[in-house]
Every structure is written in C-alpha cells, then in structure tokens.
Amino acid sequence: MTASPLQNQLAFFISLRNTSAITIHVYPGHIYNSILLCSLDGSEYSDCVNGREWMFFGKTHEMLPGSALWKEIGLYLKGAVREDLEQQDGYVNDLVFPRPGTYYVKVEPSYAGKLHSNAVRVTVAPLPESEQPVMEIWSRPEVARFIQGYTYKEGVAPLERLLEQYPDSLYADHARYALGDYWANEYRIRWSHIPDKNTADPQMLRKAHEYLGAVTERIPILKVRALRRQLAIVHQEGRMFEEVDVKALAREIESRMSLADGIGLGEKIRNWLPHVLAQEKPTEAPGAIPR
C-alpha cells in the first residue's frame, strides 16, 4: 500500500497481488470488504473511517502470476458525508487526521483473520499560517463533499475562487484535479442524454483538460493521475485530437511510467497510448472516465 499525502487529505493505493504460480480469474462484483486502520503510535490501531471500503470490479480480470489489481481510496473525512450539507457550516465530520503528527495506516481484509497490509507512515505537518485562509475555503461542507468525489456543482465556485485567489497554495493542485474530474464527468453525463452525439458541446472537455494540464509537479503521484486523466479524455473522445498535442502528452506520461506502474496505472496507460498516438477515434461511446 502506498499513499499520496497533502495535509489532512490522502489518496491510498491498495494492490491485490497474485503471488501464486497459477492464473486466477477475478469475476465481477465486490471481491473483498476491507477496513482501513489508523494509529498514532504504530501499535494500537482503530478504524480510520466509519464503514468498510469495498473493492469492486465491473468485469472479469485475468490475474497472471505476479500481477496485481489496484484500488484507490481517498481519506479526508472520518464519517459518511451528510445529506444536509447545504445547511451546515464548518467541517462535515471529524477529519481522519485531525491534527499534526505521525500516523500509521494499514488495510485489514474482513475475511482474512490476522492478515493485513504493510503499514504506511504518514506525517501531517502543521498548517503554515499563509494557508489558513485557504483552509477556510477547503473546509466548507460543499467543498469537502466535492473533494471526496461527490461531484456536486456547489463545490465548483469555491474551488474556482481558491485557484483565483491562491494559485500557489498547497491545496491548489488538488483543486485543479477535482475540477478537471468534475468537468470530464459532466461532459459524459450530458453526452449520454442527447440524441445527436455530434452536437455535444466540447467546452466541458476543454475545461477538464485545462484544469488537469495545470496540475504542477509538486505532488508527483497527483501529476501522474492528472496526466492519465487527460489521456483518458483524449482516448475516449475523438474530437479532442484537434485540441491536444497528443505527442507532447504522451512524452510527459512516458517519462513517468515507473511511478505509474507503482500505483497501478501503467497497464491501462500502455493500452491507450498506441491508439492516442495513432489518433484513432474511439469506436464506442465514452464511459465513465476513471478518477
């Protein structure tokens, strides 16, 4: 298990690896029910979140010996997102990492007894004074919900304001990624509801690509994820071939393949790159573009 930290928000990458000498088939559905455990001292662990994290696969996967499947889990809030967010101020719920310090996080499958993953050590540094105004925006309920992946439009304006006022903030790249993800998904939703697909307005894709392309090198894992998201947009929507320098995008991605492999993104990128470089338009409708 690896993690990409930023203050009180982390993205964890959990791998399920075939260590046997035979090929294993993983069929669609929820294949395990695991819990993330946190500790302040590395010995006594408790649940990081109120509820278990599901690993879901929508199709059959053939796992060759030594291969792995990956699940990304974001940690920000300890509890479930409330439905009355628009009526609340301040934090939605307790933060998983409520104060500066060193934390340890590991995964424990529910069915495996004492079996658990390696523990990832996470150091949460004190928030710089310059970031306090940013935290006021970041901690609003609608932004918390947006960052958690609940892409409701109420979170767009505060994050756009954050980027306008504090473009160099520690939180800026996460805001850019979240907005890029939002506009890519909005395009997909709108596309699926119009009879004539050729009339779909590509402006949302342009905004998505612009936000994702603006993610800096500050957090290498986040940069790789943003590049992969850009590649997915181009791969799944043929009209973007005219909007994007695909060769430059491919070079950026290829230079980071080692890191992409380390967080389970390498195989998908290698499958997409030849088609994107050949500027082959997709032959099927765009589906959900992975976060």
Query: What is the structure's pLDDT at 122?
Result: 82
Q: pLDDT, tens digit, for every residue of 135-154?
A: 888 877 778 778 766 656 88
At which of 68, 98, 126 does a domain end?
126
- 276 and 134 both lie in a single domain: yes
The average confidence (pLDDT) of the chain is 75
- 118 and 170 both lie in a single domain: no
Instruction: Name the pTM for this structure.
Output: 0.74
Host domain of residue 192: 129-291
- 219 and 151 both lie in a single domain: yes
Indicate the number of domains in the chain.
2
SS3 212: helix
At which of 105, 126, 147 does a domain end?
126
Q: pLDDT, tens digit, for every residue of 56-115?
A: 666 777 888 888 777 666 665 555 555 554 444 444 456 677 778 888 888 776 655 566
The answer to whether residue 259 scores a pLDDT higher than 80 is: yes
- 120 and 134 both lie in a single domain: no
SS3 283: coil
Q: How far apart, in Å, are the Cα atoms of 251 and each of 122, 208, 235, 245, 275?
A: 31, 20, 15, 10, 14
- 36 and 178 both lie in a single domain: no
At which of 126, 144, 161 does a domain end?
126
- 84 and 185 both lie in a single domain: no
Vertex 55: Cα angle to 51 and 59 (nearest 5)? 150
